[in-house]
Amino acid sequence: MSSIWNLAHPWLRDLVAYEPGKPIEDVARELGLEPSSIIKLASNENPLGPSPKALEAMRATLERSHFYPDGGGYYLREAIGKRCGLKRENVILGCGSNEVIEFIGHAFLKPGDEIVTASHAFVVYKLMATLFGARTVEVADPGFKHDLDAMAAAITPATREVFVANPNNPTGTLVSQEEIDRFMDKVPDHVVVVFDEAYYEFLHNPPDTLKYVRQGRNVVVLRTFSKIQGLANLRIGYGLANPELISVLQKTRQPFNANGIAQAGALAGLLDDEHQLKTKQITDQGRDYLQESFGKLGLEYVPSHANFVLVKVGDGKAMFSTLMKQGIIVRDMTSYKLPEWIRVSVGTMDQNQRFIEALSAILKPGA
């Protein structure tokens, strides 16, 4: 360990970098493939792209690139509040909802504290806890589903935050309203509960967690424009909480964390119900097709409530590489302690079919 590590916070040594889905540009460069021939089903992005209305609003805002953005995010927070039956004071914007996870860490975590999460939960919770020197308690999730009773039982006097990803990434599993209500009855006041609802808009009968925000509980609900809205490149998401909790989080952010082009695109996209509905429909059809195809191939998969499916293929890393050579990017799950699995995002029907054909040929050569 070089001497600079003796100066840095010791817990940073344990911090492993987040492994993102492999970008199309990387695969094209490394394998000498045409970028347009590559399909990326690795980051749960919207295969339809952004809403045309969002694109139009962003183009108009480009002309104003020399102005600093509205750091307070007035119009977007106002519109989000209205959509959720809340007020602007209930909303904080982030550079992706991932940044809001960091705000929550800044506000509540110090070395020695604990967070509670599920064993196969979205990995960013643990990365953020590590960043602040806190310890992550990972609770077993039988059938890949968060066990909220066990998570409540794992809360100690040292616990500051509990993360519930609903639906969870990478498993796609959902906890019910009843399970959430029973959990919230048990959570003590010294704990902030974070419901990460990045895939909320894909649900058909979503549980209500905003009632706990309205009740003034220590709850943050996270949502994002990266998934159903197809604006992942812009980095914009938000947290919903009671006004006092939001005012604490506001202190932890940089003055212009949400850029103006992102705010304009998000605002226009938020109001474009048609694009969201279309996305939801192709996601439902595509997910059914993928799951049905996995069934026919005799592959174990986790029935999903989101725009991706976790499927067991044997050697996940090998499958990832073989598919990549054919211009299909999926996600290998080694960093989630699931080396036999891959996660595939729902694409357009053409993309889904190309993926299933390639997968079938790899699994049953000559068939």
Ligand X SMILES: *Cc1c(COP(=O)(O)O)cnc(C)c1O
Q: Which residues bind ligand X (CB under 6 A)?
A: 44, 96-98, 122, 165, 169, 196, 198, 224, 226-227, 232, 237
**In the bound complex, what is the minimum distance in angstroms from residue 6's beta carbon to ligand X?**
33
Sign of CA dihedral 93, 97, 98, 103: positive
User: Residue 229 corresponds to which tokens in the numbers above?
Assistant: 């809205």
Q: Which is nearer to ligand X, 54 or 358 (CB)?
A: 54
- The answer to whether the Cα torsion of 281, 287, 288, 290 is positive or negative is positive
Contact 307, 348 (CB under 8 A): no
Least distance from ligand X to the Cβ atom of residue 46, Å: 11
Q: How far is the CB of 250 from ligand X (least distance, A)?
A: 18
CB of 55 to ligand X, least distance (A): 18
**Residue among 86 and 266 whose Cβ is closer to ligand X:** 266
> At its nearest, how many Å lie between ligand X and the CB of residue 252?
16
SS3 assignment, position 213: helix
Cα–Cα distance for residue pair 31/297, rounded to 1 Å: 28
Residue 293: CB atoms within 10 Å? 20
Alpha-carbon distance of 312 to 278, in angstroms, equals 29
For ligand X, give the closer residue by CB, 96 or 316: 96
Residue 306 Cβ, how far from ligand X at the closest point, in Å? Answer: 8
The whole-angstrom distance between residue 154's C-alpha and the CA centroid of its chain comes to 24
CB 115 within 8 A of CB 109: yes
Closest chain position to ligand X (CB): 96
Cβ proximity to ligand X: between 226 and 326 the closer is 226
Rounded Cα distance between 100 and 192, Å, is: 13
Rounded to whole angstroms, the Cα distance separating 218 from 193 reads 6
If the CB atoms of residues 174 and 198 are measured against ligand X, the closer one turns out to be: 198
Helices (H), 32-94: 52-62, 74-83
| Nearer to ligand X (CB atom), residue 123 or residue 358 | 123
Q: Whole-number minimum distance, CB 169 to ligand X, in Å?
A: 3
